[in-house]
Amino acid sequence: MAAHRRVGNYWHCLPEFAQARKAIWTAINPHTGRRRIDEAFPLELRANTNDHEMFLRLLNGSTFQVIGSDNYETLVGTPPAGIVFSEWARANPSAWAYLAPILVENGGWAVFITTPLGRNHALHTLNLGRATPDWFAEVSTVEDSGAIPLEVVEEQRREYHHIYGEDAGDALIQQEFWCSFEAAILGSYYGKLIVQAERQGRITRVAYDPALPVHTAWDLGKGANMAIWCWQITGNEIRVLWSINGAHDEVIPDCVAKLNRLPVTTWGYDYVPHDAKVLELGTRKTRVEAFGDLGRKPQLVPEHRVEDGIHAARQALPVCWFDEEGCREGLEALRQYRAAWDPDKRVFRNIPEHDFSSHYADAFRYLAMSWRRIKADPPPKPRGRTIHEMTLDEAWKLREPERPGRI
């Protein structure tokens, strides 16, 4: 309807591009036997259709395209007038951070539709909507909508109990049908540890200490697949200051430039995955050499199994302090990082779900495998002499400087 009221580009965004094709573009309405996209946009309204790009051009000049939050950067140059984010809790929050300024410039709008997935960015969006006068926000449970009979919900509950057990099954029912943001994320690797950090006050304002070097841990990719954690070591604490990821088409030099803009006086080591030593055919250099050319100090993380890295991350999280603002995006990724579900065997697989959370989680795994290798600098030697090096008279003068005549 909006595409006919105002000529412009309109997008429907799901968490992943492949998921968008299945859920929107090729989905069949079981009640009518017709493709849902054809019901929403009858052929009589279209000028042309591009199945490969899931793109429609309407006769009035507007366009409609189905996209994924994992590939939003590929649409640079086609500013939208309106976006629907479906399953927003499972999407990459970077998509909104990237697209919001474009919508503001265009006088456009956005709609966020979702069921909860823990206390992640979807809850932040809901709270923002409730607190902002020109937003509309609504939570509609299964009882509010009446869309599904409650007896059907209870049948689903019994099935979930059989698959996940009573506690996890009830949590999933609360999440999916009663819109609970408190329910646990099924299969989460670090969810309980992040909640523990919040309760202990370790997700707070963490000040940068200019007396300590700032180390980094990288998941090397391209664009949004590049993720970096910046952190300092003091005693047995890891102070995590910033989480950073690449933007559209950015590579290592672009991300190093971002780091150089941070208020850091001394950089420590850059911990990179073991395959960074592989020679790239295009440049005839390794990524380690690329870091060195940029004045960085790369260190290879020891080769390890993913499950060993996850175990190391679980050991490291209880001694981490996170800057709430600087690490907001990375923390959301750690909350959502979870085991993949096998729908056929009805069990969690021994591998992680691969989505936007994977890159930050991989970078944190490299941090966890590396931080104990850093030796903190010894404390500076006290100026002057200790009391053990003084004579009795000298020590007594420190104690009683204003009382002469003592025997």
The pLDDT tens digits of the residues spanning 140-197 come to 999 999 989 999 999 999 988 888 778 778 888 988 999 988 776 778 899 889 888 9
**Beta bridge pairs of residue 57:** 48, 63
Q: Are residues 200 and 103 in the same domain?
A: no
Instruction: Identify the helix (H) or strand (E) that includes residue 37.
Output: helix 36-40
pTM value? 0.64
Q: Are residues 313 and 216 in the same domain?
A: yes
Taking alpha carbons only, the member of 12, 60, 131 closest to residue 123 is 131
User: Taking the alpha carbons of 88, 94, 97, 99 in that order, is the dihedral positive or negative?
Assistant: negative
Q: Are residues 341 and 213 in the same domain?
A: yes
Q: Is residue 310 part of a domain?
A: yes
CATH number at residue 108: 3.40.50.300
pLDDT score of 78 more than 80:
no
Q: Are residues 258 and 365 in the same domain?
A: yes
pLDDT score of 376 more than 80:
no
At residue 202, the pLDDT reads 96
Most confident of 85-89, 117-121, 278-282, 400-404: 85-89
At residue 359, the pLDDT reads 93
Q: Is residue 118 part of a domain?
A: no
Q: Which residue among 79, 113, 147 closes a domain?
A: 113
The pLDDT tens digits of the residues spanning 114-143 come to 999 887 889 989 999 999 999 999 999 999
At residue 165, the pLDDT reads 78
User: Taking the alpha carbons of 276, 279, 283, 285 in that order, is the dihedral positive or negative?
Assistant: positive
Residue 84 domain boundaries = 2-113
Torsion angles phi and psi, residue 248, rounded to 5: -55, 120
Structure tokens at 223: 């664009």
Q: Is residue 162 part of a domain?
A: no
Number of C-alpha atoms within 13 angstroms, CB side, residue 348?
16
**Beta bridge pairs of residue 10:** 64, 82
Structure tokens at 380: 């500076």
Q: Are residues 108 and 231 in the same domain?
A: no
At residue 61, the pLDDT reads 96
Q: Which residue among 67, 96, 113 closes a domain?
A: 113
Q: Is residue 123 part of a domain?
A: no
Average pLDDT, whole number, for the chain? 87
Q: Is residue 57 part of a domain?
A: yes
Q: Are residues 104 and 207 in the same domain?
A: no
Q: Is residue 150 part of a domain?
A: no
Q: Are residues 95 and 231 in the same domain?
A: no
313-318 long-range contacts (CB < 8 A, ≥24 apart) are: 313/189, 313/190, 313/361, 313/364, 313/365, 313/367, 313/368, 314/189, 314/190, 314/193, 315/368, 316/238, 316/367, 316/368, 316/371, 317/190, 317/193, 317/194, 317/197, 318/193, 318/196, 318/197
Instruction: In whole angstroms, give the CA distance from residue 237 to residue 267.
Output: 18
Q: How many domains does the chain fold into?
A: 2
Instruction: In whole angstroms, give the CA distance from residue 262 to residue 210.
Output: 12
Q: Are residues 97 and 202 in the same domain?
A: no
Band of the pLDDT at 379, cuts 50, 70, 90? Answer: very low
Q: Is residue 384 part of a domain?
A: no
Hey, how many other C-beta atoms are within 10 angstroms of the C-beta on 39?
10
The DSSP call for residue 134 is T
The residue among 9 and 93 whose pLDDT is bigger is 9
Q: Are residues 366 and 219 in the same domain?
A: yes
CATH number at residue 206: 3.30.420.280
Q: Is 258 helix (H, G, I), strand (E, B) or coil?
A: helix
Q: What percent of the chain is modeled with pLDDT above 90?
A: 54
How far out from the chain centre does Cα 353 lie? Answer: 13
Q: Are residues 95 and 202 in the same domain?
A: no
Of 14-28, 223-237, 367-381, give the lowest mean pLDDT range. Answer: 367-381
Q: Is residue 105 part of a domain?
A: yes
